[in-house]
Amino acid sequence: MSSLAVSLRARLPGFDLDVAWEIGAELAVLFGPSGAGKSLSLRMIAGLLQPDAGRVAAGDHLLLDTTLAVCLPPQLRSIGYVFQDLALFPHMTVLENILYGGHGLEKEERAERTESLIRRFGLGGLQKRRPGEISGGQKQRVAFARALLRRPSVLLLDEPFSALDTPLRRDMGELLREVQREHKLPTVLVTHDEAEATLLADSVFLYEHGRIIRQGTPQEILDF
């Protein structure tokens, strides 16, 4: 069964992170104030930062274990990551941006997967356009397609909808739920939006000052 198990400890200037949690093939939300350690946790899970101590496992695949001196580089972690600013390359077309996420795949498989994801995310006809020539919602879809191209074991999303207006945020949230259920991926979403967390999450981890102070369903955590 798909799962993500996380234990992270890090001492930073003026801030200590010490969290541990585990999810299955569900959508979990990291919720809490800015500076609580939510985005920091995502970056450590993805291998973009290394904690002082910790362990990260995606199913049976060990990504990080500081006691065993295991620390896979980001490109070997099989993690899809959608950044807050989406990190699309402005000089690349929609097609090129999606293909960029397929490093390591055989050429034929990468092309087939890209074509399938373009259809799934309604991006047909936009392949030759650049990010500056498409809408905010279409940029989101490109970022999602790129993150899913390599069939990741885990999907991480760092406030991907923060720049969208409310109706589009709702539409993209519904699309995220559909994609998560289709792929049965452990998915972690960072958001400051309580309505978004309530609508999307199977489980919520409430962060405060680098700790998890509560965890449970959205109703248990956000309706108190």
In a domain, 36, yes or no: no
In a domain, 100, yes or no: yes
Q: Region 2-21: what's the mean pLDDT?
A: 94
> 35 CB contacts (<8 Å, ≥6 apart)?
15
In a domain, 68, yes or no: no
According to the model, what pLDDT value does residue 79 have? 96
pLDDT band at 168 (very low <50, low <70, confident <90, very high): confident
In a domain, 138, yes or no: yes
User: CA quadruple 94, 172, 45, 115: dihedral positive or negative?
Assistant: negative
In a domain, 93, yes or no: yes
pTM of this structure? 0.93
Say whether pLDDT at 163 is over 80.
Answer: no
In a domain, 126, yes or no: yes
In a domain, 105, yes or no: yes
> 25 CB contacts (<8 Å, ≥6 apart)?
1, 2, 3, 184, 185, 186
Taking the C-alpha atoms of residue 160 and residue 85, their distance in angstroms, rounded to an integer, is: 7
Q: Region 60-82: what's the mean pLDDT?
A: 96
pLDDT > 70 fraction of the chain, expressed in percent and rounded: 99
Full domain range(s) for residue 143: 89-151
Number of structural domains in the chain: 1
Burial class (CB in 10 A: 0-12, 13-18, 19+), 219: exposed
According to the model, what pLDDT value does residue 1 have? 63
